Chain A
C-alpha cells in the first residue's frame, strides 16, 4: 500500500524568520546565526554566503563574518510565530497538520484536483504564505518533506525510488541513524531492504515505523483495528489560563495524563489534536503530526507551543480572555507495545516512579520548586551549578556540549574556578564576618593582592575563633571592562581553631563567608 499523497510546506531557516517576525532583528538582510552552546544550529542565507555553516563554533563563525548577529535558541518563539503561517496554509487547504515549527503537511489529493494538479497546488500554497517557503509533493510525509527541501514534485508511485539514495539521517531519528550507520547501513534504500520482521525484532515499534517510512510506505497498516475507546483527555481551567508559564505546566500534566492513558492500552498516536475553548466561547483547533509514537515529553512540548501561540499571537483576544478548557484527542492510533530496550538504553520502571513523584511535588509547590543540577562554567561555588526545573532539558548554559569522543566525566577547564574539594554548604547569601590580625585591626587586601597583615582571628555570627591556617588571597577580577557589572574580589580559604574549613571573600574592604567545607 502506497502512502497518502502529501504536500509539505517548509520554511527554510525558520528560527531566523521567526526572530525577524517577532521583532528581534532590526534588519532582516544582515547575516544572522542561531547558536546553542556555542555552535551554529541555523544561519541565514547572507551568513551562509560568507561561509558560516551548521556546527561551526561561535568564534570561528564570527571570524568568517565579523558583522554576524548572534541569536539565542528559542524553540518557544519559533513555535509561537509559526501559528499565522499555519493559518495561512489552512486558508487554501483543509486538514493542515503541523509537523514542527517551520514544516506543515497537507493531505493533497483533494486540493490538487481542485486547483488543477500538484504543481498548481504547490504554487498556490507558496503564494498564500507571506514567508519564503519551499513546497514538495510526494507520496507520504517523509518523501514530501525531502521533496520540499529540493522544491520538487515526485510523481505518484515514485516515492520509494526517490527515497532510496537519501542518507539514513533523513529519518529524523538520530540514535537509530547513528546505530544503523555503524552497522553499515547508510541509505534509506539499504534500510528498507532489510526484512521488516528483523527490524521489528531488534528495534521495536518505532524501528518498524521507521522501516516502513524508509520504504516509502505509510505507517498506518500497523493498526490492525481501530479501538472503540474514548481516549480524549479534557481539563477545565478555573481561573482561565492567561499566562504562558501556567499554560506550560498545564501542558505537562495533561500531556502526561494523555500519554499514560494511551500507553495503558498499549497504544501510541501519530496525530495529536489540540482543542482549546476560550472564555469568550471561541473554539481553537490544531493538529500536530509525528510519524512515530509521541513520547510524553514530546506531547507536552507540542501542547505548550500551541497554547503559547494561541495566548500570545492569535486566538485569545484581550486581557479578559483566556483558555478555559483544553482537550487532547488522539488521531490515527497505532499499537505501541514493542518498547525495545537495550542497544541504546531506555527508561526503567524506577525512573517512571521517580518522575511521577517529582511531578506530584511540582503540583504541590509549583513547577520551579523541583530542580536538578547541571555542572556549568563559573568561578564561584554557586556559579558553577545551574539548577534546571524538573522536566526541562538538562543543558549547561555556558559550556558547550561534550563531543562524542570525549571521556564521559571530562569537564572543560574554567580558569579561576576553585579547586576540588568543593564546599558541602554554600550559603544562599554570604555571611558578614570580620577578620582581624593580632593587633585587632581588620585585615585588608592591597591593590596588588597582598594582605596587609596575617589574619589571626575570625568573628562570625558573634563567635570569635582563632585562624590556624589560611590560603590566599586569590584574585577574582570579573568583567573589568564593564564599570556597571565589574567585580573585584579576593578569596581566602580559612581553617579555624576547631578544624573547620571556610571560604571567605574580601569585597570592597569587607569580609564575607561564602561557604563552609563541612
Chain B
C-alpha cells in the first residue's frame, strides 16, 4: 500500500492510494493509472487569489490587499486617469495590459503614468464582438481594462468575471460592473495652475473612494494628487492651499 500526496505550487491537490499488491501481473496498467492521477493532480491550477499585483504607494494605502488581487474584478468610476494610475504599478512589474472599447484613451497620459507602451495593447473598437474580445484577452493578458457596452447581460457579466478569476487576470471595468470585488470612484477633481490667462494645468487634487466586499465593505477615502506638480501620484495633505500653486504658474 502506497500513499502519495501530490503537491503543486503549495496546494495539496489530491491524495491517492494505489494498491500494487492485487495486480502483480499488470504493472504497466498500474503505472498508467498512476500517471493518469498525477496528470489530474497537476492540472489543478495554483491558487492565484493570494497573489497581488503591486500598485503605486498612494493607491496601495487605499486598497484592501495593498494591491490588485489576481483574478479580481474592479470598477473605476468616472476617471480614466485613475484607471491608468492603477495600471502603472503592475506595468512596472512586466504585466501585460489591454484596454478594450476606449477609443478616447489618451495614450500620452498613459506614458506619463509610466505604463510601458510596448506591453499595453489597445482594442479601440471591438464593436459587436465585445464579449469575445474581452474573453480572449482575459486568457492572455494580466490586466484588462474594458468599457462595457450598455446592453451587457448579467449572465455575460458573471461569465467574464468567472473567467478572469479562473485565469488570474484582473478585470478593470470602466464606470459599471455588477458584482465587482472593488469599486474605486473619483470625485471633486480640482485642477490647479491656471488663473486668468496665465499658467498651465499642473496638478490635480482628487478624492478617491474605495469600497469593496467582505472585509472592505466600509469605504476608505483619501485625497490624492493625480498628478502632482512633478507628474507623480501622491497622497495629498487634507488641508488644501491651492494659492501656493497658483503663484508658481
* A contact set with B: CB distance below 8 Å: 348, 350-351, 353-358, 360-361, 364-365, 369-375, 381, 384-385, 387, 390, 394, 419-428, 451, 454, 469-472, 493, 495, 498-501, 515, 517-518
Is B199 an interface position by the 8 A CB rule? yes
Known: A357-B137, A373-B117, A423-B108. 9 other contacts (CB 8 A): A353-B139, A360-B140, A365-B125, A387-B107, A419-B200, A422-B112, A426-B105, A493-B194, A501-B201
**Bound form: Cα–Cα A369–B128 in Å:** 13
**Contact in complex: A454, B197 (CB < 8 Å):** yes
A-facing mask of B14-28, CB < 8 A → 1, else 0? 000000000000000
Distance A275 CA – B117 CA, assembled complex (angstroms): 37
Beta-carbon contact of B133 and A518 below 8 Å: no
From known contacts A350-B94, A425-B80, A501-B204, infer whether A357 and B136 are also in contact, taking CB-CB under 8 Å. yes
Determine whether B189 belongs to the interface, using a CB cutoff of 8 Å to chain A: yes
User: Inside 8 A of A517's CB, which chain B residues have their CB?
Assistant: 81, 191, 201, 204
Q: How distant is A473 from chain B, measured CB to nearest CB, in Å? A: 9
- Does A471 contact B201, Cβ atoms closer than 8 Å? yes
Q: Is the CB of B105 within 8 A of A354?
A: no
Q: Give complex CA distance A356, B137 in Å.
A: 9
**Residues of A contacting B118 with CB < 8 Å?**
372, 394
Q: Would you call the interface of chain A mostly helix, strand, loop, or mixed?
A: mixed
A372 touches B121 (CB 8 A): yes
Asked whether A374 and B140 contact (CB < 8 A) given A424-B81, A426-B104, A517-B191, the answer is: no
CA distance A425 to B103 in the complex (A): 9
- Assess whether B196 is in contact with A469, with CB atoms less than 8 Å apart: yes
Contact sample, A vs B, 8 pairs, CB 8 Å cutoff? A353-B139, A361-B133, A371-B121, A419-B200, A421-B227, A426-B105, A469-B194, A495-B191
The verdict on B149 contacting chain A, using a C-beta distance below 8 Å, is: no
What is the chain B residue whose CB lies nearest that of A380? B108
B141 interface residue per 8 A CB criterion: yes
- Given A384-B108, A425-B104, A427-B104, A369-B137 contact (CB < 8 Å): no
Chain A residues with CB below 8 A from B105, complex form: 424-426
**Please, which residues of chain B bring their CB within 8 A of the CB of A419?**
200
Taken residue by residue from 167 to 206, chain B's Cβ proximity to chain A (1 for < 8 Å, 0 otherwise) reads as 0000000000000000000001111011111111110100
Q: Find chain B residues with CB under 8 A from A394 CB.
A: 118
Cβ–Cβ contact B112 & A470, under 8 A: no
Q: Are B198 and A471 in contact (CB under 8 A)?
A: yes
- B interface residues (Cβ-Cβ under 8 A, vs A): 78-81, 84, 94, 96, 98, 103-112, 117-127, 129, 132-133, 136-137, 139-142, 188-191, 193-202, 204, 227, 231, 249
Interchain CB contact under 8 A, B106 and A422: yes
Contact indicator B81/A518 (Cβ below 8 Å): yes
B132, closest chain A residue (CB): A364
Q: Is the CB of B117 within 8 A of A424?
A: no
Question: In the assembly, what is the distance between CA of A454 and CA of B122, in Å?
Answer: 39
A351 (CB) vs chain B CBs: closest residue: B96
Contact A369 B123 (CB under 8 A): yes
Determine whether the beta carbon of B104 is less than 8 Å from that of A365.
no
Q: Which residues of B contact A518 (CB under 8 A)?
A: 78-81, 189
Task: Please report the C-alpha to C-alpha distance between residue A355 and residue B78 in the assembled complex, in whole angstroms.
Answer: 30
Residue of chain B at shortest CB distance from A450 = B197
In the assembled complex, the Cα of A50 lies from the Cα of B192 at a distance in Å of: 56
Q: Report B-chain residues with C-beta under 8 Å of the C-beta of A384.
A: 108
CA distance in complex: A470, B198 (Å): 7
Question: Complex formed: what's the CA distance from A417 to B190 in Å?
Answer: 24
Given contacts A421-B227, A426-B105, A518-B80, contact A358 B140 (CB under 8 A): yes
B190 — which chain A residues lie within 8 A by C-beta? 499
Neighbour of B199 across the interface among A356, A471, A515, CB < 8 A: A471
Of chain A, the residue at the smallest CB distance from B110 is A373
In the complex, are the beta carbons of B122 and A372 less than 8 A apart? yes
Shortest distance from the beta carbon of A218 to any chain B beta carbon, whole Å: 37
User: A384 vs B107: C-alpha distance in the bound complex, in angstroms?
Assistant: 9
A454-B196, A471-B194, A493-B200 are known contacts. Are A365 and B129 too (CB-CB below 8 A)?
yes
Chain A residues within an 8 Å CB radius of B109: 421-424
A371-B122, A421-B201, A469-B195 given as contacts; is B129 within 8 A of A364 (CB)?
yes
Report if A373-B107 is in contact (Cβ < 8 Å); known contacts: A356-B140, A357-B140, A358-B140: yes
Pair A370/B106 contact, Cβ less than 8 Å: no
Which 7 pairs of residues, A with B, have the shortest CB-CB distance?
Answer: A357-B140, A422-B108, A499-B190, A424-B81, A501-B191, A469-B194, A354-B96
A424 / chain B contacts, CB cutoff of 8 Å: 79-81, 84, 105-106, 109
In the bound complex, residues from chain B placing their C-beta under 8 Å from that of A370 are 121-123
Given known A451-B197, A469-B191, A501-B191, contact A381–B106 (CB-CB < 8 A) = yes
Q: Which residues of A contact B188 (CB under 8 A)?
A: 499
Q: B124 to A371, Cβ gap below 8 A?
A: yes
A374 to B117 CA separation, bound complex (whole angstroms)? 7
The residue from B106, B136, B195 contacting A426, defined by CB atoms under 8 A apart:
B106
- Given contacts A426-B104, A469-B195, whether A375 and B201 have CB atoms under 8 Å apart is no
Specify the chain B residue showing the minimal Cβ separation from A384.
Answer: B108
What's the nearest-Cβ distance from chain A to residue B105, in Å? Answer: 7
A353 CA to B140 CA, complexed, in Å: 5
Asked, given contacts A358-B140, A372-B121, A518-B78, whether A495 binds B201 with beta carbons under 8 Å apart, the answer is yes
Report which residue of A348, A373, A421, A495 has the largest number of chain B beta carbons within 10 angstroms of its beta carbon.
A421
How many angstroms between the C-alpha atoms of A470 and B201 in the bound complex?
A: 9
Give A353 to B141 CA distance when docked, in angstroms.
Answer: 7
Q: How far is the CB of A483 from chain B (nearest CB, A)?
A: 30
Chain B residues near A493 (CB-CB < 8 A): 194, 200-201
Q: What residues of B have a CB within 8 angstroms of the CB of A365 in the complex? A: 123, 125-127, 129, 133
Q: Which residues of A contact B125 (CB under 8 A)?
A: 365, 369
The answer to whether A420 touches B231, judged by C-beta atoms less than 8 angstroms apart, is yes
Q: Which residue of B lies closest to A378 (CB)?
A: B108
User: Shortest CB–CB separation between residue B110 and chain A, in angstroms?
Assistant: 8
Bound: A423/B195 CA distance, A:
19
Min CB distance A372 to B, Å, is 6
Closest A residue, CB atoms, query B195: A469
Kindly provide the distance from the CB of A386 to the nearest chain B CB, expressed in whole angstroms: 9
Residues of B within 8 A of A471 (CB): 193-194, 197-201, 249
A469 neighbours in B (Cβ, 8 Å): 191, 194-196, 199
Asked whether B136 lies within 8 Å of A364 as measured between CB atoms, the reply is yes
CA distance A351 to B121 in the complex (A): 12
| Chain B residue, CB-CB nearest to A375 | B111
Q: How far apart are the CA atoms of A518 and B104 in the complex, in Å?
A: 12
Q: Which residues of A contact B197 (CB under 8 A)?
A: 451, 454, 470-472
Cβ contacts under 8 Å, A364 to chain B: 129, 132-133, 136
- Quick check: B106 and A515 within 8 Å, CB to CB? yes
Assess the B103–A428 pair: CB atoms within 8 A. yes
CB distance from A474 to the nearest CB of B (A): 9
Q: Which residues of A contact B81 (CB under 8 A)?
A: 424, 517-518
Closest chain B residue, CB of each to CB of A499: B190
For the complex, give the distance between the alpha carbons of A493 and B195 in Å.
10
